[in-house]
Amino acid sequence: MTSTTFKYQSPFAQKYFGEGEAKGKAEGKAEEAAVAVLTVLRARRIEVPDAVCERVQRCDDIEVLQTWLSRAATAAEIGDVFD
């Protein structure tokens, strides 16, 4: 028996399936970026307080996360990363 992937055929279903898929991809990218920010900070031996860790993990703005990641790469302390 072979299995096939179901394709949503109605325009209504295609629209909402596509929106859900895009939202899921965006959330995944934000989660990966948050992990990267925290990984860089910890690798550089910069202490990350719990409140900052939660702030980073809650952030879903990929541009903000990318800014934090760039700053984390050269930061001397946690205050250098966040506004």
Residues 6+ apart with CB under 8 A from 36: 65, 69
**How much is the mean pLDDT over the chain?**
85
Residue 30 · residue 55 · CB < 8 Å: no
Q: How far is Cα 72 from Cα 70, in angstroms, rounded to an integer?
A: 5
* Structural domains counted in the chain: 1
Domain residue limits at 77: 32-83
43 domain-assigned: yes
Residues 6+ apart with CB under 8 A from 77: 46
Residue with tokens 């109605």: 10
Mean pLDDT of 36-65: 97
pTM of the predicted model, to two decimals? 0.70
59 domain-assigned: yes
2 domain-assigned: no
Query: What is the reported pLDDT for 29?
Result: 83
